[in-house]
Structure 1
């Protein structure tokens, strides 16, 4: 096909537009990487070439002339050929001249194979040794086209020969062998190179070119010749026999037997991996054993293929299975001259737990199945048969020479038993006894012949001293020497109360109360040093006494006074540090609203009242609405902070105020920060640090239990942590110290609002809203301002909540209702009628039957 050179270059520019997608310009084609192109881009190049009348085999040549490197041009040719064979790789019809050399070896698994994923193989295929070789996603056996031209390579039709003349004369030729096997050199003529090796073709070309370059064949040449392959040709190989995809394949001329097997999907389940035959010109030229490659890496028979070669995969003749602890259990093909040692070699050898002295065999005989035992001496002489199943056993899960020691020795564990080994020898191997070892008796656990357990008592002290006969050990003996602490409770003492780190601590001999207080971090500020109580367990008492109680005097310097110095703690003693009667943590209340000095106040005395707090707040201001004053008080459901939580929060404030923004604290400040971090992390488990009151918690739990068990007995309960207490502030100011003047409690909030001017209506009214307070207006007038009652309103149960928290309900006598008076800030609440369920038909029938029965009874009585 003749193509105008300008059209060539224009076409190549179009074809290579897909190649330069990755920020490469057309003027920099020599840097293109074909591996970075997708299959879609390669397909676009081929499609554009065919539209311009250019065959696939000419695309790499044109690209190379444009500047693409020879290596990348070869890769481009390979990628183009892959597109031609990706549909299955089988070429059942003769190729046209334009396609000759374009078909190449597929570099990914063929269609219909397992896409390189061994997990998709069947169970039998996974067991066949070597089957996954041609289905492995990391292996593609693609022929290497980037190697120096082999001297033995046979030149054929379609091969491109690149001839370089260099030295005194410079000339380059890029020539393709024509279908007649000739190479046409300008000014020289045709040269027959088809069927010749590269070395022979080089000699012929050199001889012919010497007519132009006479110095080529001189004894001291200054002009030299080099020949290399450019775009290689394609060959056709026929694949027959037990293959996954038999057929005729078009492959690169560099392809080997493994390349062809991979293209055909490898042998199928019944195909042989040991006797793959290669025929050339009706003669067998090679017999490939895949096992040689898998086990020894030997590819001597993996020859390079030639055009029209035939590869035959025969059916497997002898296949056996190996089961048990071997490295590669599965199905293996065995040759006639191989034995069990070869079979174990293919299976990767025995695992460490395999019993190698004997192998069991299951075999199919002429009439039935049978089993056989093969000793290790018979491995080389036993004849392997097709269908055999070789069973490798495991060693016994037992130790031949193990003895063990545990307990109070320095190195407990397993040791090897030797002849004549005794208990003393085993103790010596364990580096001797620890100090806490219980020497009066140890236990030797012995396994008898019938696998029952026997206990042999051992006097350890006598055996070690030599005053008693030593005991000889047997296999699997276990000697346990207990610690004296294993035979008694773990001793501890406990401290609680006003101590920084209450809890249980390990007991130590001669421990005193001072030692325990020191270990617990010292006293709290609230601790009483005059009353420390120690509770001690009593034993063997039948008079009803539960504990022995005594007190100790100790000062803040941890000095015990008087005879108490002699008191030494016993195991399980409980030291209780009581709170000092005169210690009181500050309690805060708050005043808000219309007073002269609102804010927080500390309760000064236990009898401080509302009037006292109001005086300290400077009294009320002119805008105060005293009738709306209320006291907000915590309920029993409020969970106060524990002492530790309060202390931690305050210490965090100290830390935040102590930290400097630039981080440049002094050494003393850093020490304080360190101590604060340590104390914040401390958690006390003492009763003094618990939240809330036990009575409050019990009440909450009890109400929940009753409501859960019988909802009809208990109305819906809202566990409020704070409630309003209605007070008469005018009366309190006029009569300080009266019953109305309540004693303050921690957390109380005295709220005095401004003068209120509205009344609020909510509940079962047509339009819940707030209305302006008008003196003299009645309850019904305000309800009318909210649109009146709804049909579901329960008028007789309506009530008013006043601004100070007091509540008054509607009172009734006969058909008359006495509604509460309304004051500024009041809230009218109209509840809903209870939902009443209608009587069912069954109930009506029951009522009717009862009435009829009653009528009959009255009638009879009347008669």
Structure 2
């Protein structure tokens, strides 16, 4: 609300070329309406200024715009990342900072114009939202996006032509907040209001710091005019070159790209971190970023670790060599090198070397180590070298006595243990794909070290990631199949390479249904899949007064599919029978006319999938009838028609008549029966789809919407082969179905 008020105030200043009195407190401004602001503006003097700083200060005080808080947490292994994990002061505007000539003027900047010489005056100028300032007796001019120097030149020319012997001096009194966007590999992508002097490094900090894989060496500043500048922040972080830490301008976008060009420096260097390298850089360059060597460095023994698929290879290098893109670690030894049989251990315990374990099995070794209860329980990393030192083997091993008793300490052994923070917060990098389990907690993926056997529920409990899970739907995907069975969540699973474990969240399953016709709110509705027809009636507003509740039609896709399948099966058998007689396989002669053959060859029959029954709102069936996806419900309007179809002279739809009390009266009205009519088989189809066979010696009440069906008596047809009769029956049934469908529509 305060921001809206600020915009209204600024608009008022633009409209009336006047400014509000300076002595109005911010608390009072909140109560002003637009009419009041207009009145104040018209009555104010030209030198009166409402400083927008008061409003901005009020916004800051009330917490609409806040500085980010200190972000406590584990230190990053990547060089430079921690620099941005600090409190930002991006919104603190200091008026003591001098504005340089290249400062670009923007909306809401407060300027001061001093005139000296023949005309002496002092004006406070506020840059309005159109980028204009109003100079008394001169008029409005646009200063937005001009540098202070350019604006001074423009105003100088205007004043010189308006007042002889007068010189103007333009200065910045108060700079407005600027809007910049920070996107890419940062924790909080977004657009922020920042002070006019904010730099790249401050903007990154304000966006919550960097995420894993963020590049500090190819940071892009995309200016409002579309130009792009790329900077290497190592020049600032390593060498203190402030020139690359550019100031951002209003409307700029800061893009932090991702990269995988990282190498870990270990050993006798000043800074043991993971460093980003650029194309054509040497190992010496990277060591320089780390602050150089420590004392007693054994330069002749420098080596890199290169990953070749799942095998790690030690490779001696010179510091003058270019960085190999497949390098993952650069080790700089000192003249003191631990014995090759000493075990190095890293993890949630005291890092360091352990003696006297050469040749021991890992089961024995783990008993000697001070492991804590925080140790990650689903596996640890074991690295060892071949006897010649050229091959380096890495594997994830389970905490399984039987497995560990078969593994023995060899040359330059290394054990690395993890904790919850390593795995579920920072993430474990550099492991071969065959040794990690991809776990999906709802939509969040975490890659964890894994070996041996595991129980899904134990992983879920250890993760601490709390969501509304549908645990019965837990499933596993391997490279060959998807595994899902009852009780999987508590079953012991044998880990396989490239396996994935899914803990899906509970979610509502929905269906899309439609209701049309005589209801208050016809249309398509998305409902829970457990919804009933009575709920749809209620949601759609109920029936209209002239609706026919006894004629409701429900069409269902699954029923239509079943109808079509049954028809096609019968049609296929009939067609095969006909073809066999034409090939001479059968000795029974069969002849079909063109209409009958067309029927056999035409698969494009219409099946509407109607569900019959009493679907009126008060029926018991409606309360218990569940809806399916794709259902369409038609609520007809009341009708006064009766349909007569089948073996009658002239099938038609007739108006209901109180003078016609019997179905026979309606049959007589359409010309009577044909010669092939089955008079004893007449049946009535009610508007709700129910069919009732009539007794020719008794009458039955005919109601509006009823359909009188007169079937064919095939016993009167002589000389026709069975296949012809069968095709006629199917044809008649389709005719009846089509007629009913037309009536429904």
TM-score under structure 1 normalisation? Answer: 0.33
- Determine which structure has more spread, i.e. the larger CA radius of gyration: 1
TM-score under structure 2 normalisation? Answer: 0.38
